[in-house]
Amino acid sequence: MLSLQSTAALSFAGAPMRAMPSRAGAPVMETEADLQALAQKLNPTVGYYNPTSLAEMEFWGQSQEATIGWLRQAEIKHGRVAMFAFVGYCVQANGIHFPWDLTTSGISFGDISAAGSPQAQWDALPTNSKLQIVCVIGFFEWWSENSRVLANNGEKHYMRGGKPGYFPPFNGGKGTEGGIPHPTLNYFDPFGLSAKASPEKKAKGLLAEINNGRLAQIGIMAFMAEAKVPGSVPALKGIVTPYSGECMSFFSESDSALPYVKDMLGVSPF
């Protein structure tokens, strides 16, 4: 039931970072020509489509190649979270929830589910629960952006020639210096299936992941748009429960005890 807000929290790909020495080979920076070739593999019918010219820009005074790395990382991250969000929205919207208590004070997952739409369920979460979620997501962001962690896993930052979408395992690296000494803390590939796959299968899987992620982003935004403005997505009219709150806000009136939340809620987005 954390899907929607996780999408917002994970949507920031991060700021440029200074890469540290790595055990990996020389970095390979993707160019616009590489994007054009990738587009043909992803969807030969549409091909390369860049109406905003983002791939031709140089963000934060970095090179065009570094900017392309940032954009590739952002899309993959958005897509992955959107896939979780889409499935989570469908589950929550149908009243499916864990059967036990959420807090020691007696608030159950059923109580949260009874609040209504997935967005309303997020609003109904206790403030401490929201803060825990935000802190965990923040830690994941720090871990994946940390150049030392990446270097200890033989990788580089995505703006310095690293693989876009790479998430360093918590148990990786040389000895224990690259991670946390625990055999199961590899959330990207917990069962080792990807590590055993052939290069051809990995390449095909990455293409499928990007395409599925793009579709999921369209899907979850359609749900949110229809909930906020009923009838805005005709195919979902009457299916999605309306929501009158602010979809893009972590906190609601129930969190007004937190610093700055009252000020935030007093600002109209329009």
pLDDT at position 238 is 92
The reported pTM is 0.81
Q: Residue 14: pLDDT above 50?
A: no
- Report which of 53, 61, 8 is spatially closest to residue 32, judged by C-alpha positions: 53
- Report which of 269, 253, 22 is spatially closest to residue 125, judged by C-alpha positions: 253
| Residues 170, 171, 173, 179, CA torsion sign | positive
Decide if 3 contacts 216 (C-beta within 8 A): no
pLDDT at position 250 is 87
Q: In terms of pLDDT, which residue wins out, 2 or 139?
A: 139
pLDDT at position 171 is 72
pLDDT at position 5 is 42
Residue 114 and residue 123: Cα distance in Å, rounded?
12
194-214 pLDDT, tens digit per residue, is 777 888 888 899 999 999 999
pLDDT at position 182 is 56
Please count the residues of the chain.
Answer: 270
Q: Residue 20: pLDDT above 80?
A: no
Q: How many CB atoms lie within 10 A of CB 255?
A: 20
pLDDT at position 183 is 55
- Between 6-15, 75-84, 126-135, 147-156, the lowest mean confidence (pLDDT) is in 6-15
DSSP string, 66-100: HHHHHHHHHHHHHHHHHHHHHHHHHHHHTT---SS
Q: Residue 217: pLDDT above 80?
A: yes
